Structure 1
Amino acid sequence: MPSLWQPSDWSSRLAELRATDTHTKEAPLRRDVRSLGALLGEVLREQSGDRLFDLVEQLRRLATERREAEFNHQHEAAQAKLDEALALVRDLDTATAYQLARAFGFYFELINLAETNHRKRRRLAGLLDTARPPQRGSLQGTLRRMREAGYTADEALTLLRDICITPVFTAHPTEVARRSVMFKRHRIAELLEQLDRVPNTEDALNRLQSDVLTEITALWQTDDVRNERPEVRDEIRMALDFYDASIFDTIPTLYTEVQNALRKEYGRDLSLLDLPTLVRFGSWIGGDRDGNPFVTPEVTRESLEMSRSLLEKHYRQRLSEALQQIAASTQQVGSSPELQAAIERYLRMLPSEAKNLIARFRFEQVRLMLACILLRLGGTPQISYASKHSERLPQYDCADDLERDLQLVRNALITHHGIRLAEMWIDPLIIEVRTYGLHLQTLDIRQHAKLHLQAVEEITQAIPGTAPDSPLIEEKPLTPQTTDVVDTFRAIADLKLHGDPTTIQQYIISGATSAEDVFRVLWLARLGGVPVAGNPKRKDPGMLIAPLFESIEDLQNAPVICRALWTSPAYAPLLDAAGRRQEVMLGYSDSNKDGGMIASTWEIYKAHRALHDVARECNVKLRLFHGRGGTVGRGGGPTHRAIYAQPLNSFNGQYRITEQGEVLNWKYSDVVLAERSLELMIAASLDAVARPDLRAHQSCGDCTGHLTGEMLPEWEQTLDHLAVVSFHRYREDILDNPDTFDYFQQGTPVAELEHAKIGSRPAKRSGKRSLADLRAIPWVFGWMQSRHLVPAWYGVGTALEGFARDNTGGLDQLRTMLRDFPLFIDMLRNVEMALAKSDFGIARLYASLVPDRALADRVFTMLQAEFERARSMVLLITGQSELMEQNQVLARSIRLRNPYVDPMSWIQVELLRRKHEAAAGKPGSINGEDEAALNRAITATINGISAGLRNTG
């Protein structure tokens, strides 16, 4: 068959790339979607027969016709189509239901790849169009706005040196894809990119299409559902895969982009090494113990070893490439005395090998030095002898030493007219050393405050007279929980003493409610021998103890707690030793679960602002760590908008943020995506520090202009009011209403998270069946899968409606805030996106799973009424006639996805019904089908719906 990607002429492809009208710009996306769908259909027929393909088409047709009827307000026709679809689904056996769920899920796997490829395509198009102003989220766009606001080049560079963003990878269980599936995704993504090349021969296009078809076949034949829950080691490995997949190649590219942006906007032609370090990486995987009994000291040690091993392998590869390419000879160019001295020092450590090394690299001092660096990193340069000796150069134990050796090579090259060689092969490596050190990523340790309290109380009771500065305690009959806490601190001490002390620099206290929570960790750390204040001789930076404030109440108390901590004479020595640095973490997921969208957003904002005020009073250099999730209900949303929405004068450019589960795949699966994601965070941080809009307006004598970040008193009063009203509505109807929890447990697939085998962490902190004990992730997961999305919008409609109704000019006030106030813009647009992804036509089907029909009707009616209030108010404030009217790209994506998500929801509801009937002992339930097969089929629907909504929980 002719290639699905064969154009009528290649000039049309170029026209698509350079187009500005929406229809032409999206033509390549439509082609990719159509072609991938056709190839999937071919695979379905080949692998599973015509019947499965026909069922897929039948369900898709019914879903499309139902949606069209609803859009045209033909409610009877829509109900008829739904009834027909549900009747078809009821007759499915479990095996067929499983295959259908897989088929629809795989469609979304492919569509997501097509949309991702289109994002890369449009980024390229933007770079090609030099006449188009740079985007706001780009670094060049931010620098241009700064220049136009009056910032000089030196001022811009000074502010840029304050910026450092740290994505912290976590294993929160929201990534449903198996590692093997992720590899196949990456391969298809590469093929789609190759199909975009202009021009391409017909044979090449056919070969690429055949390769795509092969990969789709391989995907279909791969188990998409895990047979076993992943271990922590698997999660560590999955996160590390992103370094090889994109990050290692991204960092040099990112700094080149920064270099180019400064040149284009300010005419400053800086080398890569003149730029500040703008990015570092962190991880929780292998260090986060809160509620995860599988994170042990051995796992923590293994996490550090795996990270270092991967990084050393990468450095060796980079050095080997440089060694092959740089062959500067002293017979052609001069030498460097400093380089010669370093080489001689290393050769004296290898008396038996020195002669062979000199013979192999005769007259090639740069190569010889690179070979010595390679040896120090555990590598073996390609030399023409077989060593029979055991001589080794000492491993690097400090990244500064590695950078110093590379600088010697660089200086030698530059001194003798080899600057281009240095810029190509050495400068990018030095940038990477500054970014990764010798550890790749820092590893945070996290544990809950309650376990620290339990451990301190138990130890002091079991061992009277124990003091904070006691030596390691002897083995005592302590509970397993306390033993684990003590062993954790012993492991930290050992790892800092015998490993790279910079790898563990943060200890997070989740559930922090007082200054005493920090002092208990200090007590336990000293008991375990951890040098919390650091050790300059070993270049140990110590360990910052960061309280994590999660609930609404704790966010409100955070400034008072931190003032008590920072003014305590007992804490002063630690602050001084840390250079007055302190880290505080703000929890988005739990605060949202605790108080709803508006209250969570506003209390985090106020805590952020107040903590910086207290830090200035106490002469503390504060860095906030933002515990954001992927979904709106867990603090997710567009990155640039969220960073820019931070309080004015309460951001110093240091930004740590959790990157959770599925977010890793969206942001870091590809070099282009990773570079864009990191650039967005850097640009947004610079934007939030510089506030060019505010500076421009101040120069005109006006401080209240569009997007300045200024907070007007009336806006603050408005948000105070909205937060209180929405909080009470959310608490009364959702958290404090036992009907809602019963509805949630029975009418959503939250209980199936266990069978999905998504992550190593249990869904609950204990075995209790209560809303308080349920983690935020399964809470959002259940509402997301059932298309309610309650945490992202509940209470918003009541608050907005009441304010607009009860206050003169209230609606105009809200519209002004939407135009001028970044925080309100971010919040309302995130609510709008969540409302657009919600679907109460589908949610009603899940409500039918609740056995108590009266309860189901009460809760569903309550939820739907608030949904409609929120929807109406968002439309009223934004002036739109439909949701996402001003974001047509996302609106079209949701509209096109729904007919393919709906069948998976229909199947999931039917399978859940069968499972509930079996659990209730209903005669004839599940027709003797195996429960494991039923769980497997339900998990397939979870995977598919997650892929379709691009969110898990």
Structure 2
Amino acid sequence: MPSLWSTSDWTQRLAELQAPVGDLKEVPLRRDVRSLGMLLGEVLREQAGAPVYDAVETLRKIAIARREEDSAGEAEAARDHLQQALVQVGTLDLATAYQLARAFGFYFELINLAETNHRKRRRLASILKADAAPQRGSLRGTLRRLKSAGLDADAAMKQLSRICITPVFTAHPTEVARRSVMFKRRRISDLLEKLDRVPLPEATLEGLERDILAEITALWQTDDVRSARPTVRDEIRMALDYYEQSLFDTLPVLYEEVAGALADEYGLHRDLADLPQLVSFGSWIGGDRDGNPFVTPAATKEALGMAQNLLFAHYRRRLQVVFEQLGSSTQQVAISSELSTRIDEYLDEMRHAGNPSLENRFPFELVRLTVACMMIRLGGVPQSAVSMAIGGLKPYQHASEFVDDLAILRRSLIRNKGHRLSSMLVDPLLMEARTYGLHLQTLDIRQHARVHAVAIKELSAWQAPVAGQPLGVPPALTPQTQEVLDTFRAIAALKKEYTPEAIRIYVISGATSAEDVLQVVWLARMGGVRVEAVDSKGDGDPGLMPVPLFESIEDLQNAPAICRELWSSEAYKPLLDSWGRKQEVMLGYSDSNKDGGMIASTWEIYKAHRAVHTVARECGITLRLFHGRGGTVGRGGGPTHRAIFAQPMNSFEGELRITEQGEVLNWKYSDVVLAERNMELMIAASLDAVVRPDALLAEEGNAHLTGVLKSEWENTLDTLSATSYDFYRAHIVNDPEVFTYFEQATPVSELEHARIGSRPARRSDAQAKRSMADLRAIPWVFGWMQSRHLVPAWFGVGHALSQFAQTEGGLEQMRTMARDFPLFLDIVRNVEMALAKADFGIARLYASLVQDEALRDRVYTMLHAEFCLTKQMILAITGQSSLLEKNKVLERSIRLRNPYVDPMSLIQVELMRRKREGDETEELNRAITATINGISAGLRNTG
């Protein structure tokens, strides 16, 4: 049989791949989805049997019919279809239920790969036409607006030099993907990409299809549910995989795009090595101790060691390429005097060490000799026809040493007619060395303020701290306090063993006062950590900066006063001076949303952001904000470009750090094209937010979304925030029945059995408690997401918008804000997306698990009423007749996914019901976890 991807018209196929707009560009995606679905069906029949395949098809068709009837307004017919599906699910034995959950989950694994491949396809299509308008959010588009706003080349370059974005990778307690599954995803993704290399012979198409079928079979035969929780080491390894998978290859591509954009828009021609550093990387994995007892000093050391080993191996691979391709001979071309001097220094050092093996190995190929020395300092040796002994040169101690060697080599090549060679081989590596240093990524340490307070109290009870005098350690400490001291001792040791730049940030969760920061300084010094920076021509210790994390609504409101007190403290001023009067502050999205709802959280973060910047300017501080965003809307998620652009005007210096949760890493960084696009979006948005070209263009009436906040808009947001906050607190936080409903109507209790992440769902001191206050924000969002309520993303929004719409001119005011003010547009679009993913018909089934019927009906009715009101108000403000009417790509994706998510929700409810009735077995928990995986894949979120 011909391949599912066969065609008789390759010209048409090429037209589809290049189509800029219209339905034609969606044809390849539909073909991939259809073909992958058919291949999965073949695997199901073969591996699970015809009965399982038939059950999948029956449920799928019922779910589609139910959705179609619901869309047509045929509520009774839709309920009949739902009841029909429930009857079928209710008769399933546990083994079949597990197989069905896996089948639907694997369908979404494949659909997600198809959509990801289509994103890559559209990205490539957008750059094929040189005369096409820049893609939305691109750096070219931003530079073009800068030019239109009157900035010349020097000014544009100066502003770009201010930008540095730092994605900070974090592990995720609800990350579902196993590493082995991720590898199989990757192989299928590669095969899908090969199908776009048209034209292809029929035999090649058939071969690719066979390979995809084999990979789907392998995926089906692989455990999708873990038999044990991932260890911290597992999580470290999974995140580091993205460097080998895409990031190492992405960075040169990203900077090539930057160089090309500058050349095209401003006529500036810059080598990669002459561009400013625009990206750095960070991680919490192995350093985040807050609530995770498994993150120990040994885990932190392992995180640093694994990162450095990976990086050095990468550097050696890059240098091996340079070694092989740069055979420049001094008999043909000269080298610079400074390179000659550096070579002499290396040879002298090797002679004194008794290892002159390179002395006569490269008598004329001195460039190659230099590269060999660099590889030896990185713990390797060039692969060559003649063996070479390793040793005789001390390892690099500081990144500046490696960078200096590369820079000397680059200058020598350029001065001796080797500019092309430098651009091709040395410049990309030099840019990487400046980015990664010798540590790859900074590893942040995090712990909760109350843990520090307990440690201080215990230690103070033994001996009051005396300024400037180190304390001994009492003979017996509680395990928690001992762990705090061990952590700081480990930091001191690891900064010496690896490189001091590897650990430079200590995040303080739950910070509520300046004292919380000063306590960390005292504890760090007790542990032997040098807190202040020591600069020795770039080779010094950057110190350990305590970074307060303001999480709750109250803490966000108090943040400016806390920062002012801290930065005015005589004890803290010397530290600030050593750090160049720089300070980082972190704003938390998850807990503020859980605490006060969507609008209040977003607005309070915005105001705290603005106010802390004001205080920083008054105190002579250069502020860098760290945004603790989650993957879901309820935890600060949503499009990153839009969120960065929505920052307050005149409250952004160009540098920012953003958490990238484990569950979104695959979506953003699994491929070079995707990773480059994601980082370009962040760079472009940051440049946009610093310069605000639209604000300059608006003076001529040519731009909306300038970032300017009018006083009447600020008053409106104050009112909306206060109204939504009061409503959210009254009906969610302060109503104990809602928490009871949440625990019984969502699978949050099943999170512990899912073996999904290394960190517990609750902090250790709250294991025995059962209240909303003690629950982490992540499982809070997880439960509502899985049960299709998505409450954190929209509750309180409808009430606030409705109340304001009833004031004179209120609705028109909000429509204007949605058109002209980035922050309000961000709120509206994120809420709209969450509403489209929610389904109260399905949520009603989860509600049936609540034991108290009166409580169930009251809470469900209250939630449903607010959901409907929110939907009504979002449509009124956006002027749409249906959700996502103006975002067809996302609307289509959610519309096509929902009928396939529904069966997994029905199965999950049935299995949870059996568990609540006492049928708790390992097999049942395994099947429930399979539904969690499937629903997460279908909604593209866990929590």
TM range (shorter): over 0.9
Rounded Cα–Cα distance in structure 2 between residues aligned with 1:220 and 1:581: 52
Rounded Cα–Cα distance in structure 1 between residues aligned with 2:390 and 2:820: 68
Residues 532-551 of structure 1: matches in 2 within 5 Å?
Answer: 532-537=531-536, 539-551=540-552
Residues 280-291 of structure 1: matches in 2 within 5 Å?
Answer: 280-291=280-291
**Structure 1 counterpart of 2:803, which letter?**
G
Rounded Cα–Cα distance in structure 1 between residues aligned with 2:477 and 2:467: 18
Rounded Cα–Cα distance in structure 1 between residues aligned with 2:840 and 2:390: 70
Rounded Cα–Cα distance in structure 1 between residues aligned with 2:875 and 2:59: 32
> What is the match of residue 705 of structure 2?
707
Residues 549-628 of structure 1: matches in 2 within 5 Å?
Answer: 549-628=550-629
Distance apart, 1:124 and its partner CA: 0.9
Distance apart, 1:78 and its partner CA: 1.3
Residues 139-538 of structure 1: matches in 2 within 5 Å?
Answer: 139-351=139-351, 356-384=357-385, 391-462=391-462, 464-471=463-470, 473-537=472-536
Rounded Cα–Cα distance in structure 2 between residues aligned with 1:21 and 1:516: 57
Distance apart, 1:465 and its partner CA: 3.4
Rounded Cα–Cα distance in structure 2 between residues aligned with 1:497 and 1:674: 32
> What is the match of residue 23 of structure 1?
23
**Structure 1 counterpart of 2:747, which letter?**
P
Rounded Cα–Cα distance in structure 2 between residues aligned with 1:480 and 1:611: 36
Residues 753-768 of structure 1: matches in 2 within 5 Å?
Answer: 753-765=751-763, 766-767=766-767, 768=769
Query: Equivalent residue of 2:626, what SS?
Result: strand
Pick from 926, 929, 941 the counterpart of residue 939 of structure 1.
Answer: 929
Query: Equivalent residue of 2:507, what SS?
Result: strand
Rounded Cα–Cα distance in structure 1 between residues aligned with 2:158 and 2:573: 30
Residues 894-905 of structure 1: matches in 2 within 5 Å?
Answer: 894-905=894-905
> 1:951 and 2:937 equivalent?
no
**Structure 1 counterpart of 2:761, which letter?**
A
Distance apart, 1:886 and its partner CA: 0.3
Identity of aligned residues (%): 66
**Structure 2 counterpart of 1:934, which letter?**
L
Residues 522-921 of structure 1: matches in 2 within 5 Å?
Answer: 522-537=521-536, 539-698=540-699, 700=700, 706-765=704-763, 766-767=766-767, 768-805=769-806, 807-918=807-918
Query: Equivalent residue of 1:548, what SS?
Result: strand
CA contact (8 A) 2:160 2:687 kept: yes
CA contact (8 A) 1:468 1:526 kept: no
Rounded Cα–Cα distance in structure 2 between residues aligned with 1:48 and 1:787: 28
Distance apart, 1:525 and its partner CA: 1.0
CA contact (8 A) 1:136 1:142 kept: no
Query: Equivalent residue of 1:169, what SS?
Result: strand
Query: Equivalent residue of 1:676, what SS?
Result: helix
C-alpha distance after superposition, 1:874-907 (max 9, x if no partner): 0011110000000011011111001100000000
Rounded Cα–Cα distance in structure 2 between residues aligned with 1:390 and 1:853: 75
Rounded Cα–Cα distance in structure 1 between residues aligned with 2:192 and 2:522: 56
Q: List runs of 5+ in structure 2 lacking aligned partners.
A: none
Rounded Cα–Cα distance in structure 2 between residues aligned with 1:505 and 1:451: 20
Distance apart, 1:526 and its partner CA: 1.2
Query: Equivalent residue of 2:774, what SS?
Result: coil
Number of corresponding residues: 937
**Structure 2 counterpart of 1:943, which letter?**
N
CA contact (8 A) 1:513 1:554 kept: yes
Distance apart, 1:641 and its partner CA: 0.6
Rounded Cα–Cα distance in structure 2 between residues aligned with 1:571 and 1:334: 53
C-alpha distance after superposition, 1:817-839 (max 9, x if no partner): 01100000001100000001010
CA contact (8 A) 1:357 1:383 kept: no
CA contact (8 A) 2:168 2:283 kept: yes
Rounded Cα–Cα distance in structure 1 between residues aligned with 2:467 and 2:295: 25
- Are residues 17 and 932 of structure 1, via their aligned partners in 2, closer, same or farther at CA, if it must alter by over 3 Å? same
CA contact (8 A) 2:354 2:392 kept: no
C-alpha distance after superposition, 1:802-830 (max 9, x if no partner): 0011x111111000001100000001100
> What is the match of residue 923 of structure 1?
none
CA contact (8 A) 2:504 2:544 kept: yes
C-alpha distance after superposition, 1:599-630 (max 9, x if no partner): 00000000000000000111011111000001
Rounded Cα–Cα distance in structure 2 between residues aligned with 1:908 and 1:642: 34
CA contact (8 A) 2:884 2:891 kept: yes
Distance apart, 1:468 and its partner CA: 4.7
C-alpha distance after superposition, 1:716-768 (max 9, x if no partner): 00000000010011111111101100000001000111111111110001202
Distance apart, 1:340 and its partner CA: 1.9
- Are residues 263 and 21 of structure 1, via their aligned partners in 2, closer, same or farther at CA, if it must alter by over 3 Å? closer
CA contact (8 A) 2:610 2:648 kept: yes
C-alpha distance after superposition, 1:379-434 (max 9, x if no partner): 012245556x7743111011111011111221222222111111111000000001
Distance apart, 1:353 and its partner CA: 7.1
C-alpha distance after superposition, 1:77-126 (max 9, x if no partner): 21111111111101101111000000000000000000000001111111
Query: Equivalent residue of 2:546, what SS?
Result: strand
Instruction: Compare 401-410 and 431-440 and name the one that shifted more.
Output: 401-410
Rounded Cα–Cα distance in structure 1 between residues aligned with 2:354 and 2:684: 50
CA contact (8 A) 1:470 1:527 kept: no
Rounded Cα–Cα distance in structure 2 between residues aligned with 1:184 and 1:332: 49
Q: List runs of 5+ in structure 1 lacking aligned partners.
A: 919-925
CA contact (8 A) 1:18 1:129 kept: no
**Structure 2 counterpart of 1:99, which letter?**
Q
CA contact (8 A) 1:259 1:271 kept: yes
Residues 102-121 of structure 1: matches in 2 within 5 Å?
Answer: 102-121=102-121
Residues 24-173 of structure 1: matches in 2 within 5 Å?
Answer: 24-173=24-173
Query: Equivalent residue of 2:917, what SS?
Result: helix
**Structure 2 counterpart of 1:788, which letter?**
H
Query: Equivalent residue of 1:883, what SS?
Result: coil
Rounded Cα–Cα distance in structure 1 between residues aligned with 2:928 and 2:355: 64
C-alpha distance after superposition, 1:103-157 (max 9, x if no partner): 0000000000000000011111110122321023000010011111111111100
Rounded Cα–Cα distance in structure 2 between residues aligned with 1:250 and 1:468: 48
Query: Equivalent residue of 2:470, what SS?
Result: coil
Query: Equivalent residue of 1:624, what SS?
Result: strand
Distance apart, 1:471 and its partner CA: 2.6
Rounded Cα–Cα distance in structure 2 between residues aligned with 1:469 and 1:498: 26
Rounded Cα–Cα distance in structure 2 between residues aligned with 1:552 and 1:22: 44
Query: Equivalent residue of 2:466, what SS?
Result: coil
C-alpha distance after superposition, 1:573-599 (max 9, x if no partner): 111111111110000000000000000
Rounded Cα–Cα distance in structure 2 between residues aligned with 1:231 and 1:291: 15
CA contact (8 A) 2:173 2:760 kept: no
> What is the match of residue 921 of structure 1?
none
Rounded Cα–Cα distance in structure 2 between residues aligned with 1:304 and 1:576: 28
Distance apart, 1:227 and its partner CA: 0.5
**Structure 2 counterpart of 1:725, which letter?**
T
Distance apart, 1:349 and its partner CA: 2.0
Q: CA RMSD in A?
A: 1.3
Rounded Cα–Cα distance in structure 2 between residues aligned with 1:283 and 1:136: 29
**Structure 2 counterpart of 1:572, which letter?**
K
Rounded Cα–Cα distance in structure 2 between residues aligned with 1:195 and 1:474: 65
**Structure 2 counterpart of 1:476, which letter?**
P
Rounded Cα–Cα distance in structure 2 between residues aligned with 1:866 and 1:123: 39
Distance apart, 1:534 and its partner CA: 2.1
Rounded Cα–Cα distance in structure 2 between residues aligned with 1:242 and 1:21: 32
